[in-house]
Chain A
Amino acid sequence: NAGVTQTPKFRILKIGQSMTLQCTQDMNHNYMYWYRQDPGMGLKLIYYSVGAGITDKGEVPNGYNVSRSTTEDFPLRLELAAPSQTSVYFCASSPMGHLTTNTGELFFGEGSRLTVL
């Protein structure tokens, strides 16, 4: 039961570097999300996707890009890393959109801790 898998778990970047956080889910969920969690703060939505080929901005999209070429994968890209992007990033998926479910539940990965120096 893999669920939502994120890689890497930890990464240190220099200012201006780029990287991609990988996220994959094996639950056939249509909906996927990227959140960031700063110390003492709740989860802020960066981008989300309601299905392959469809993405949309959340609350804090600046500095990030996403793509959704398959149902399973939802990578998050940082093009020019900045210290303000130091955070813990969580990918999540949801069965929303399936005819058999009405749940708002999100299933989260274990997180990717990113430090930008």
Chain B
Amino acid sequence: GQQLNQSPQSMFIQEGEDVSMNCTSSSIFNTWLWYKQDPGEGPVLLIALYKAGELTSNGRLTAQFGITRKDSFLNISASIPSDVGIYFCAGQNKETSGSRLTFGEGTQLTVNP
């Protein structure tokens, strides 16, 4: 089946630093989604990308849909303590998998005040 490789697995940063994480796949996706999961909660959507090359921002978050449709990255600028959590990428290809999403294994982010 489709697989997503998400990196890094974990990051330990100081408050104020910028963060970058990415996902790559051997398969093409036509939608990329980035979710954040707070401890004890379900994942919540941060950014959705629908076109190859698309660059979308949501506050301090910026995500891009790779031109090859096989990768995506998420940047967080000027990190703050509440950015702590697990960040998941997810890809969707309606032609091959319908509505199902394929999730990366997550990036655990720790922000030290």
Say which residue of B1, B44, B92, B106 sits within 8 Å of A42 (CB atoms).
Answer: B106
User: Is there an interface contact between A94 and B103, defined as CB atoms closer than 8 Å?
Assistant: no
User: Which of the candidate stretches A64-72, A78-86, A97-105 sits at the interface with the other chain?
Assistant: A97-105
Collect the chain A residues with CB atoms within 8 Å of residue B33's CB: 104-105
Q: Which chain B residue has the least Cβ–Cβ distance from A103?
A: B48
In the complex, which residues of chain B have a beta carbon less than 8 angstroms from the beta carbon of A58?
Answer: 100
Contact A48 B99 (CB under 8 A): yes
Q: How large is the interface on B (under 10, 10 to 19, 20 to 34, 35 or more residues)?
A: 20 to 34
Of chain B, the residue at the smallest CB distance from A108 is: B42
With contacts A43-B88, A97-B99, A104-B33 known, is A110 near B104, CB below 8 A? no
Are B101 and A104 in touch, CB under 8 angstroms? yes
Chain B residue numbers with a CB within 8 Å of A106 are 43, 45, 90, 101
B40: chain A residues within 8 A (beta carbon): 110-111
Number of interface residues of A (CB under 8 A): 28
Q: Which residues of B contact A90 (CB under 8 A)?
A: 42-43
Checking A41, A45, A108, A111 against B100 with a beta-carbon cut-off of 8 angstroms, the contacting residue is A45
Contact yes or no, B100 A48, CB < 8 A: yes
Which of A96, A102, A108 has a CB less than 8 Å from the CB of B43?
A: A108
A45 CA / B2 CA spacing, docked (Å)? 12
Cα of A38 to Cα of B111 in the assembled complex, Å: 23
Q: What 1/0 flags go to B18-44 for Cβ under 8 Å of A?
A: 000000000000010100000011111
Taken together as a complex, chains A and B put the C-alpha atoms of A109 and B43 apart, in Å, by: 8
Chain A contacts to B: CB under 8 angstroms: 4, 31, 33, 35, 40-45, 48, 50, 58-59, 90, 92, 94, 96-97, 102-106, 108-111
21 A-B residue pairs with Cβ-Cβ distance under 8 Å, sorted by A, are A4-B42, A33-B100, A35-B103, A40-B9, A40-B106, A41-B105, A41-B106, A42-B6, A42-B105, A42-B106, A43-B88, A43-B103, A50-B98, A50-B99, A90-B43, A103-B48, A104-B90, A104-B92, A104-B101, A109-B42, A111-B42
Name the 4 nearest CB pairs between A and B, nearest first: A108-B42, A42-B103, A42-B105, A104-B92
